[in-house]
Amino acid sequence: MAKFKFEYIWLDGYKPVANLRSKTKVLDFDFYNGELDILPVWSFDGSSTKQAEGHSSDCLLKPASVYPDPQRHNAFLVVCEVLNADGTPHASNTRALIENNDPEYWFGFEQEYVLTMDGKPLGFPDKGFPAPQGMYYCSVGTPNVSGREIVEEHLDTCLEAGLELTGVNAEVMIGQWEFQVLGKGAQTAADDLVLSRYLLHRVTESYGVTVEFHPKPIKGDWNGSGMHTNFSNRLMREKGGEELFMAICDKFGKYHQEHIEVYGAHNDQRLTGLHETQAIDKFSYGVSDRGSSIRIPVGTAQNWKGYLEDRRPASNADPYLVTNRIVLTIEEALTPVAG
């Protein structure tokens, strides 16, 4: 028998933005190859995470996805759902809202974030502001980039954990970065995004740096942070057609408010119509238009096969709510009108 470490990870009950929590369970196995069904449900003190009252504090962690943990020996990372003591989904368990986890739905998250120290983005001077935006996006060199060593360590860690990170880049504001992660299935893709955020927090601990997911961390003429969500299903990728894509875009416009309601907190500070956004109270779509709500990539528009980009989700958005809402809207768009 050998000792294996399992880091159970979950979202707490704080509002309007949930926090990541985790704790380690040590289990004895002769060997372990990533089997999910042999991992036990585990309890925790929900009164300490705003998920229960002290007089009835037990909540349960149900393993949902498991990944190798490259930062520890004989260890795995376990993304969990939170259950009530009776085994029913907890009110904070947004993963349980998803009924369709069809892996033919692909999601490419563009997760933006800001690395901060003492409340300021890395690269900002002690007083005042750095040079205006312009030279920071995808830049190189000390005057224009800050925090690259953290970004590189996070990228390697995620890849070693089996996550499909497809790229990283410096963003428009100094100290602001982005990673892209591809997942398949509304639940599974969101699990991957949750884990990639968790690993980013864990990497930054050793640097004394904080990860800021607020969609507008610096007020004024600075870009905010989003979680642009690229999405497609088999029909969009293989059959396609302009009529299909227009029907989907129009349906997204019909449910604009329903999407905005689950696309993150404080998003009104970011979706102003400036800094590559559409205003929060407006909906638009267009080919290669980064000022629209839905961008139709130029590659998709060439033969009307491929994916769409929803540019509205905030950097702090709950990925389970985002993927679920996208699937629900697409499914309605693809359902023939009765009669």
What would the pLDDT profile of 239-259 be if each residue is shown by its tens digit? 999 999 999 999 999 999 999
Q: Is the peptide bond before 16 cis (omega within 30 degrees of 0)?
A: yes
The helix/strand/coil state of 42 is: strand
Picking from 42, 70, 97, the residue at the C-terminal end of a domain is: 97
Helix (H) / strand (E) containing 186: helix 186-205
Task: Tell me, yes or no, whether 45 and 153 share the same domain.
Answer: no
Task: Tell me, yes or no, whether 38 and 178 share the same domain.
Answer: no
pLDDT recorded at residue 338: 36
Work out the average pLDDT over 102-117: 98
pLDDT recorded at residue 56: 86
Task: Tell me, yes or no, whether 44 and 80 share the same domain.
Answer: yes
Give the number of domains in the chain.
2
Picking from 69, 97, 125, the residue at the C-terminal end of a domain is: 97
Work out the average pLDDT over 132-139: 95
Picking from 62, 97, 132, the residue at the C-terminal end of a domain is: 97
Under 8 Å between Cβ of 179 and 154: yes
Q: Which residues, 6 or more positions from 95, have their beta carbon under 8 angstroms from its beta carbon?
A: 64, 81, 187, 190, 191, 320
Please report whether residue 339 resides in a domain. Answer: no
163-193 per-position pLDDT tens digit = 999 999 999 999 999 999 999 999 999 999 9
Task: Tell me, yes or no, whether 136 and 38 share the same domain.
Answer: no
**Residue 294 to residue 273: CA distance in whole angstroms:** 13
Please report whether residue 28 resides in a domain. Answer: yes
The helix/strand/coil state of 194 is: helix
* 302 pLDDT higher than 60: yes
- Rounded alpha-carbon distances, angstroms, from residue 293 to 230, 266, 277, 285: 12, 17, 7, 6
Please report whether residue 111 resides in a domain. Answer: yes
Work out the average pLDDT over 188-208: 98
Task: Tell me, yes or no, whether 19 and 132 share the same domain.
Answer: no
Task: Tell me, yes or no, whether 90 and 142 share the same domain.
Answer: no
Task: Tell me, yes or no, whether 153 and 58 share the same domain.
Answer: no
Residue 129 dihedral angles phi and psi, to the nearest 5°: -130, 160
pLDDT recorded at residue 227: 98
Q: How many CA atoms lie within 13 A of 284 on its CB side?
A: 16
56-76 per-position pLDDT tens digit = 899 999 999 999 999 999 999
Task: Give the structural domain span for 46.
Answer: 2-97
Task: Tell me, yes or no, whether 93 and 203 share the same domain.
Answer: no
pLDDT recorded at residue 55: 87
Residue 208 sits in a domain of what CATH number? 3.30.590.10
pLDDT class for 335, splitting at 50, 70, 90?
Answer: confident
